[in-house]
Amino acid sequence: MAEGDTLRGSCLCGACGFSAQPLNREAGVCHCGMCRKWSGGMFFVAECGSSVVFDESAPVKRYVSSDWGERLFCGVCGSTLVWQMRDGGMQMVSTQTFDDPDQFTLTTEVFYDEKPAGYALANETKKITGAELMAMFAPPPGAGE
């Protein structure tokens, strides 16, 4: 897969087919409590910018989970599909929904401070706490004044 390649994916039942262009071959996992409850474990994602396009008849449902983010899932089978900014500007697609999830290499864990003690990943990853992640996206001091 080259940067910018368009990949296909779908939910468990196939009703929510989509195409997306991952920004690279890196994957991350989120350990936050919301992602764990939503996905049933770690949420493995690939950043796809704003490139996700669902097939015309896809029964995609949205759950607004915060002031800035929403979660997309299949309205038929309930499969976890995409976490995105509410404006659609950043879309994090579940790597497991792509037809070939093996093309991604896990590099980053976010909300590492919320990871349950009952599991650990074997490979070396960059580990980012929730506070560190929020600081990365916070507006610069004085913005909006």
> Would you say the pTM of this structure is higher than 0.85?
yes
Question: Residue 42 is part of which domain span?
Answer: 7-107
135 in any annotated domain: no
130 in any annotated domain: no
65 in any annotated domain: yes
84 in any annotated domain: yes
Segment 74-128, tens digit of pLDDT: 999 999 999 999 998 899 999 999 999 999 999 999 999 999 999 999 999 999 9
CATH code (residue 77): 2.170.150.70
Task: Please state, as a whole number, how many other Cβ atoms lie within 10 Å of the Cβ of residue 60.
Answer: 17
34 in any annotated domain: yes
41 in any annotated domain: yes
Place of tokens 């409850």: 37
Dihedrals φ, ψ of 91, to 5°?
A: -120, 125
Distances in whole angstroms, Cα of residue 73 to Cα of each of 16, 53, 79: 8, 14, 5
Q: Give the number of domains in the chain.
A: 1
Length of the chain: 145
